[in-house]
Structure 1
Amino acid sequence: MSAPRSRTRHALGRVLAVIGRSVALFVPVFLVATFVTFALRSLSGLSPARIQLGEEATPEAVARVEAEWGLDRPFLVQYGDWFKGILHGDLGTSWTNGADISTLIGVGLGVSLSIATFALLIGVVVGFVLGTLAALRRTTWIDRTVTGFVTVISVMPAFVVGIVLGTVFAVGLHLFPSAGYVPAAQGVGPWLAHITLPALALSFDVIADVARQLRSSLIAAYSENYVTGAVVRGLSPRRIFFGHVLRNGLGPTLATLGLKFPALVGASVVTEWIFGLQGFGRFANDAAQSGDVPAVQGVLVVSIVLVVTFNLLVNLVLARVTPASQRGV
């Protein structure tokens, strides 16, 4: 019983260490990032009065509107109130329509997270299969075919892929809806039907990155001494691959995914325009175009949280899966 308990305590210690390091990094980064984000209003020179009253508004009218929004108070007081609101999930109020920004972002984020998650899943599964196949059949025609394929799809812009997919599978073959979004709560089938084409358009870049990185990592792992030792000991190729090569080759591939998911959420604005979706990326674009500073600030805060959260998850997986991470290397 002592050995299993020791392993459990050791594994728990690794997880807690990863969480502790991530939190220690997250707190100062979040404080600095939110401070810089909030300073955007002062740096931009934008004002809700200019949006609501127009450029010809009198100084008195501008001062009255800014006082209503609390912008006549000292900068640090405004930042303190805003930061307290963030900690309670309150991202403020939109300058353009007076709506709650947290609610607006929540609606758009549900769309973009659905597309980004599905795109990441497609990219990881297909990229894993292609990268593994190329590594196991390295220097053969299979390896060259996979390498050529991922090279081609890596340079194809998402908006071009989206237009082609929409034209062929939605307009031409009528297999998928050409526009719109249905929440998963209203049915998994319609939800998947509406996010499949946008997710496919975004997944090409993930497929290429995962396949290339995994191929390189697996080929490098096969050249290590521990693989030679496993062959000498008479282990089967299957056991060598899953027990030694894959576990050691996964680390760099998982690390590349650290920023992929937040990037997919941001990049979804392209596919959202093509497929008529009102998601997080499109909301961010509309807020920036209209000069809605509180909305832009809310988008940046949510983006920071997404980046940190996803990187924490990747680090936890790395600590559990890869032997090098388990040893703290």
Structure 2
Amino acid sequence: MTTLEISPAVEPAGAAAEPPAGRRAGWGRAFARPLRSALSVGIPVVLLSTFITYAMGALTDTNPAAQVLGETATPADIDRMNHYFGLDRPLLVQYFSWLGHALTGDLGRSYFTTLPVTDSITQALPVNVSIAVLSVLLAVLVGGGLGIGAALSSGGWFDRAVTMLCSAVATVPPFVVGIGLIVLFSVTVPILPSGGYVPFTEDPGQWLRFAILPSIALSVDAAAGLARQLRTSLVGELRANYITGADVRGLTRRRVVFGHALRNAAGPALTLLGYSIPQLIGAMVVAEAAFNLPGLGKLGLDAASKGDIPVIQGVLVTMIGLVVVCNLLVNAALLRLTPHAKRQER
């Protein structure tokens, strides 16, 4: 007689219970590995990318001091301004001086406005964070719903329609989707604004009207990838032995799918979502230009056009930090949802 293999995902809740102190220790161990992984990748990337930016700025013929002072500046004036900016020091000295201050939260001052770079980033960052959060939420809801529906109707017309739709959508760049949305919802049927931004804290309704189109444009690719991956993983889980065992034990279909199969199938989909986040943040630069959003991308592009190195460095470090933090959160969610990942951490 064949013995059915029952996955740990269907263990009774009481069997996995731990004392509060044990849970806290387990969470600490669970976060330790993704944190080490994120830092081991993020720190070298920050060092290399910021140094390359400094080196490229030093190798150009553009002199920020001369640009700030204008055409009437004398060589003596330019030398004084270079000394004020610290540009008369060796490149490595400049870089490590900036890095030391950056570790304390001081990203320097703009060459042209003399405003603290940290203040400029603080004003622009909420735009990116709010759009990114809404984009990820839309990707998870739409992609997750389509993937689950396709898996439950595996081989049927809905499954084939979702597969064809996701394959077609994945080939369209976000900026093309954005332009299409503007033409459709701002020109043809003018129900939404084509650009601009209102902070969520000032007017949540107006914020949503301005944020929904760029968020949809950014979420389409991630939603398509998520739907395809979740569909594939969930179909495999629904054919596993432990699902048959759960059915034999009399568990409802909803509990089997959403309580056990989906939990185990979520791992690859979450991993794919983690890979999509850097692409989403990079695509946001183009979305800001298309939808006239005052975010980090616009701040960085304006700084690049003038050669404002401190602002470029600050924007670059902030975007890398966003990628590292988002990947850390995805890894933590993966460890929370997949029991086998937790056991590997112990």
TM (normalized to structure 2)? 0.85
Q: Which runs of 4+ in 1 moved over 6 A?
A: 2-5, 54-59
More off after superposition, 151-160 vs 204-213: 151-160
CA distance in structure 2 between the aligned counterparts of 1:278 and 1:74, rounded to whole angstroms: 34
Q: Residue 24 in 1 paired to residue 24 in 2?
A: no
Quote the offset at 1:117 in angstroms. Answer: 1.3
> Residues 213, 10 of structure 1: CA spacing in aligned structure 2 closer, same or farther, 3 A cutoff?
farther
Partner of 2:4: none
Query: What do residues 181-217 of structure 1 show as CA deviations (whole Å, max 9, x unaligned)?
Result: 1111211111111111111111111210110110011
Q: How does 1:210-221 map to 2 (within 5 A)?
A: 210-221=226-237
Question: Which of 74, 91, 94 lines up with 2:107 in the alignment?
Answer: 91
Quote the offset at 1:290 in angstroms. Answer: 2.7
Quote the offset at 1:313 in angstroms. Answer: 1.1
Tell me, which stretches of 5 or more residues in structure 2 are unaligned?
1-13
CA distance in structure 1 between the aligned counterparts of 2:240 and 2:21, rounded to whole angstroms: 30
Quote the offset at 1:65 in angstroms. Answer: 2.4
The 3-state SS of whatever aligns with 1:184 is coil
Query: What do residues 161-182 of structure 1 show as CA deviations (whole Å, max 9, x unaligned)?
Result: 2122112212232211222111
Tell me, which stretches of 5 or more residues in structure 1 are unaligned?
none
Question: Which of 182, 185, 194 lines up with 2:201 in the alignment?
Answer: 185
More off after superposition, 148-157 vs 72-81: 72-81
Q: How does 1:247-258 map to 2 (within 5 A)?
A: 247-258=263-274
The 3-state SS of whatever aligns with 1:185 is coil
Partner of 1:11: 23
> Residues 123, 35 of structure 1: CA spacing in aligned structure 2 closer, same or farther, 3 A cutoff?
closer
Q: Quick one: which amino acid aligns to residue 191 of structure 1?
A: W
CA distance in structure 1 between the aligned counterparts of 2:273 and 2:120, rounded to whole angstroms: 27
The 3-state SS of whatever aligns with 2:201 is helix
> Residues 177, 135 of structure 1: CA spacing in aligned structure 2 closer, same or farther, 3 A cutoff?
same
Q: Residue 319 in 1 paired to residue 335 in 2?
A: yes
CA distance in structure 2 between the aligned counterparts of 1:271 and 1:200, rounded to whole angstroms: 11
Quote the offset at 1:250 in angstroms. Answer: 0.4
CA distance in structure 2 between the aligned counterparts of 1:55 and 1:216, rounded to whole angstroms: 63
Q: Quick one: which amino acid aligns to residue 19 of structure 1?
A: F
Q: Residue 295 in 1 paired to residue 311 in 2?
A: yes
Q: Does structure 1 conserve the Cα–Cα contact (< 8 Å) formed by 2:38 and 2:328?
A: no
Q: Residue 52 in 1 paired to residue 71 in 2?
A: no
The 3-state SS of whatever aligns with 2:18 is helix
More off after superposition, 40-49 vs 201-210: 40-49
Q: Residue 141 in 1 paired to residue 157 in 2?
A: yes
RMSD of aligned residue pairs (Cα, Å) = 2.6
Quote the offset at 1:289 in angstroms. Answer: 3.0
Question: Which of 254, 268, 280 lines up with 2:284 in the alignment?
Answer: 268
Q: How does 1:131-280 map to 2 (within 5 A)?
A: 131-280=147-296
CA distance in structure 2 between the aligned counterparts of 1:41 and 1:309, rounded to whole angstroms: 24
What is the aligned residue count?
Answer: 328
The 3-state SS of whatever aligns with 1:324 is helix
Quote the offset at 1:153 in angstroms. Answer: 1.6
> Residues 262, 56 of structure 1: CA spacing in aligned structure 2 closer, same or farther, 3 A cutoff?
farther
CA distance in structure 2 between the aligned counterparts of 1:103 and 1:112, rounded to whole angstroms: 15
Q: Does structure 2 conserve the Cα–Cα contact (< 8 Å) formed by 1:319 and 1:326?
A: yes
Q: Does structure 2 conserve the Cα–Cα contact (< 8 Å) formed by 1:267 and 1:281?
A: no
